[in-house]
Amino acid sequence: MEKLLLKLIALSLALLSMSLSAQDFQGQAYYQTQRKVDLKMDDSKMTDEQQSQMQSMLKKQFEKTFILTFNKKASIYKEEEQLDKPAGASQGAVKIMVLGGGANMKLYKNTKTKTYADEQDIFGKAFLVKDDLEIYDWVLGDESKVIGKYLCFKATANREVENMSMSFGHEVDEEESDVPKTTTEMQVVTAWYTPDIPVSDGPNTYWGLPGLILELHDGNDMSYLCTKIVMNSKDKTEITAPTKGKVVNNEEYEEIMQKKMLEMQEMYGGRDRKGEGGKTFNIQIGG
């Protein structure tokens, strides 16, 4: 009887230890991002070298480091803090700014409830986008490769994305300059995930695989590559949903973005109502 009691106590302690270990499970994944940008210049006065410089500057706006802090059911995804980061890139009189995201972005995902809360800042106004997570119809493949020290497997999914473009300057056709153009297309998302880290999470809004996503290519536009992983650090980060900003759903936020792009277009060029000459260029950014 005494031996049975000791065994029950030992089993209880083991189960408690496993439960506490699961509660303490936490990691951080660092991702480098890159984005393909199509910058079309229509001004013959701008040299090939100037166009190349502009293209390079815009590309750098999307070359950032993000940190995903995760546990078994939730995560926070935000840009790594930099002490001397400029607000926007500039070349002469042209300043390049990117709507949404940035250092103030804080994306919370809960893979258990399949919801997210995205804290965004647009020209100093805070928004909190709350909605359901997109469900990806992942197709798991047999192809594998090693990223760092982790064995990863390939998965793909088809995704409909929106591409937005807007034109600036004084020589844009009237029909083209009324609103930012939005087109949709199907893209193949390719992800590499590792079952060695058993969380159904990944960079940005991506999730839903049987392991942490370490590398992802969003069609021809955006790429994410995990460069460092820190597991179970002594310094724990509280993973809670953000609360700042006006609460909107994803559809409402997209409408706000469209409106802000139109305001920018009118502010920095639009069509020439006074017949003045000027430079025009078109920026296309994939979804």
Cβ density class 188-205: b for 16+ within 10 Å, e for less:
ebbbbbbeebebbbbbbe
Confidence of residue 261 (pLDDT cuts 50, 70, 90): confident
Average pLDDT on 73-83 reads: 89
At residue 167, the pLDDT reads 54
pLDDT tens digits, one per residue of 51-71: 666 666 666 666 899 999 999
Query: Whole-angstrom Cα distance, residue 34 to residue 59?
Result: 8
Average pLDDT on 119-138 reads: 93
- Higher pLDDT, residue 232 or 43: 232
- 18 domain-assigned: no
- 129 domain-assigned: yes
Share of the chain above pLDDT 70, in %: 60
Work out how many domains the chain is built from and give that number: 1
At residue 163, the pLDDT reads 65
pLDDT tens digits, one per residue of 154-205: 999 998 876 665 555 544 454 554 555 667 788 899 999 999 999 999 999 9
- 110 domain-assigned: yes
Helix (H, G, I), strand (E, B) or coil at 53: helix
Query: Whole-angstrom Cα distance, residue 70 to residue 78?
Result: 12
Average pLDDT on 197-226 reads: 94
- Higher pLDDT, residue 152 or 122: 152
From 179-193, 212-226, 236-250, the region with the lowest mean pLDDT: 179-193
Helix (H, G, I), strand (E, B) or coil at 98: coil
Confidence of residue 221 (pLDDT cuts 50, 70, 90): confident
Determine the structural domain holding residue 200 and report its residue range.
26-285
Share of the chain above pLDDT 90, in %: 44
- 111 domain-assigned: yes
- 12 domain-assigned: no
pLDDT tens digits, one per residue of 79-107: 998 665 554 444 444 445 555 555 568 99
First vs last C-alpha separation in the chain: 66
At residue 283, the pLDDT reads 52
Query: Which residues are within 8 A (CB) of 37 and not within 5 positions of it... i.e. 6 or more apart?
Result: 55, 58, 59, 62, 283, 284, 285
Confidence of residue 274 (pLDDT cuts 50, 70, 90): very low
- 1 domain-assigned: no
At residue 30, the pLDDT reads 98
At residue 37, the pLDDT reads 65
From 47-61, 219-233, 245-259, the region with the lowest mean pLDDT: 47-61
- 3 domain-assigned: no
What is the pLDDT of the chain when averaged over all its residues? Answer: 77
Query: Which residues are within 8 A (CB) of 98 and not within 5 positions of it... i.e. 6 or more apart?
Result: 61, 62, 88
At residue 49, the pLDDT reads 73
Nearest CA to 25 out of 230, 207, 194, 206 is that of: 230
- 96 domain-assigned: yes
